[in-house]
Amino acid sequence: MTKFGCSTCGWRGINVLTAESPFVEFGILRACPVCRNVTLFLICEVEGCTKEATCGTLTAEGVYMWCCMEHFDEIAGANKEEE
Ligand SMILES: [Zn+2]
Ligand SMILES: [Zn+2]
């Protein structure tokens, strides 16, 4: 489940406001449900982690997962061992 954080008010969660983007065809704008700013960033999807997700990788289960640098090594490393 993709998690989001808001850099304006500090909100964290999954239920963001979405709207069709007027700038990109089929694009979606995501806004914070609390302050309504479009200042969201992705959060590491590892259970319990609240760091900003700066990269992503496929897990051993073949699911794409957003994660922070710290967990990237863990997930990517575990993925390699499976191969
Ligand atoms: Zn906010
Ligand atoms: Zn993490």
The DSSP result for 42-70, as a single string, is: EE--STT--SBP-EEEE-TTS-EEEE-HH
Radius of gyration of the chain (CA): 15
Calculate how far, in angstroms, residue 78's C-alpha sits from the geometric centre of ligand 1: 34
d(CA 52, CA 44): 6
7-55 residue pLDDT tens: 999 999 999 999 999 999 999 999 999 999 999 999 999 999 999 999 9
Considering the entire predicted model, what is its pTM?
0.79
Task: Indicate whether 39 and 1 sit together in one domain.
Answer: yes
Task: Indicate whether 68 and 80 sit together in one domain.
Answer: yes
Calculate how far, in angstroms, residue 31's C-alpha sits from the geometric centre of ligand 1: 8
- Per-residue model confidence (pLDDT) at position 23: 92
Task: Indicate whether 51 and 75 sit together in one domain.
Answer: yes
Element (H or E) spanning 73, and its range? helix 69-82
Task: Indicate whether 16 and 51 sit together in one domain.
Answer: no
Q: Of the residues 28, 43, 58, which one is the last residue of a structural domain?
A: 43
Domain count along the chain: 2
Calculate how far, in angstroms, residue 66's C-alpha sits from the geometric centre of ligand 2: 9
Which ligand approaches the C-alpha of residue 12 most closely? 1
Q: What domain range is 74 assigned to?
A: 44-83
Task: Indicate whether 39 and 2 sit together in one domain.
Answer: yes
